[in-house]
Structure 1
Amino acid sequence: MFVDTLNNIEFYKSINDDIYQGLLFIKNADPEIALGTYPITDTAKAVVMEYETKPENDFGYEAHKHVIDVQYCIKGTELIPWSNLERLTPSMEYNAEKDYTFFNKIEKQGEVVIGNNVFAVFFPQDGHAPVWADGEPGYIKKIVIKVKVQ
């Protein structure tokens, strides 16, 4: 997992083109962008969603085997606790169709607040727990870049 600001997008150009193109999508997105899925490259897409954050989520952590998540709030902010999968116990079987597993809630290893120029990148080994409020619960609009990995 790593955390950075949109000011440093050019750094990612030499690391991974899908992440770089996804960050450009985020940086150039209008806050009024319609909800939905937007193709970016052959192996990356953007998913635009909105929801109300909560004092904590109902499902614990989630992780994906075949995508890297680049997450950013284009409206509002969101607190995302995270933990390495080695510390987590699955609370369900892996859903291959949707590529996710949920894991029990445990004490977080760390946390990040996304939005206000800050994004987070979660790799397959990073359990992350979205939907948490950064302070008071409230509305967010979020862009998640899904980058395919083997």
Structure 2
Amino acid sequence: MITDTLDRLGAYYCLGGSLGRALEFLASRPLDALPEGRTDIDGDDAFLLVQSRETRPSSEEPFETHRKYADIHITLEGEEWMGYAPEADLEPLSGYSSEKDCRTYSGDGVFFRGGPDRFFLFFPWDGHKGCISMGAGGRVRKIVVKAALEGR
């Protein structure tokens, strides 16, 4: 997992491939102007989803991992917390779904407050969960980028 401020996206272009292209795309435009739904960056190798969702208590949301894609999460509006735990520290709840590129888990992790100036990069082996509330729930508008990692 990597978390940093949006003004430092350029420091991570060196990750290369679809992930580097996705980071460059994010740094090159006003993020709050992106439309709801899917925007292609590099076809199925890198795309983003702008979505609005209600936050939920951590106990109501499982951790997840992926095999094909790394995720970049950016909160545009509202307050959400992001959960993280190493995959090895989590207990599987489901088998891997290749259709959804997802496996779900239960367990404990650490939580970080999201915001419009910050991003979270989760690699396929990082257990993570978003749209978490630490108190009263609310609506968030956010970006989730999916960037395929070569060799995975």
User: TM-score w.r.t. structure 2 length?
Assistant: 0.86
Distance 2:122 2:97 in 1: 18
- Runs of at least 5 residues in structure 2 that lack an aligned partner in the other structure: none
Q: Which residue of 1 aligns with 2:75?
A: 73
**Structure 1 position 141, deviation (Å):** 0.7
Letter in 2 for 1:38: T
TM-score, normalised relative to structure 1:
0.87
In 2 relative to 1, CA 139–57 (structure 1 residues): closer, same or farther, beyond 3 Å? Answer: farther
Hey, what's the Cα distance between the residues in 1 that align with 2:135 and 2:3? Answer: 20
Given candidates 93, 113, 123, the residue that maps to 2:95 is 93
Matches within 5 A, 1:48-67: 48-56=50-58, 58-67=60-69
Question: After the TM superposition, which residues 1-150 of structure 1 pair with which residues of structure 2 at under 5 Å, given as runs?
Answer: 1-27=1-27, 28-42=29-43, 43-56=45-58, 58-104=60-106, 106-108=107-109, 110-149=110-149, 150=152
- Would you say how many aligned residue pairs link Structure 1 and Structure 2? 148
CA distance in 1, matches of 2:32, 2:132: 21
Give yes or no for contact 2:19–2:147 (8 Å, CA) kept in 1: yes
Identity score, percent: 26
Give the whole-Å Cα distance in 2 for the aligned partners of 1:114 and 1:18: 23
- CA distance in 1 between counterparts of 2:133 and 2:96 reads 26
How far apart in 1 are the matches of 2:89 and 2:10? 33
Q: Which moved more, 1:36-45 or 1:54-63?
A: 54-63
In the alignment, structure 1 segments of 5+ residues that lack a partner are none
CA distances 1:4-30 after superposition (whole Å, capped 9, x unpaired): 111112212223253343234445245
SS state at 1:41 partner: coil
1:48 CA drift (Å): 1.1
Alignment RMSD: 1.9
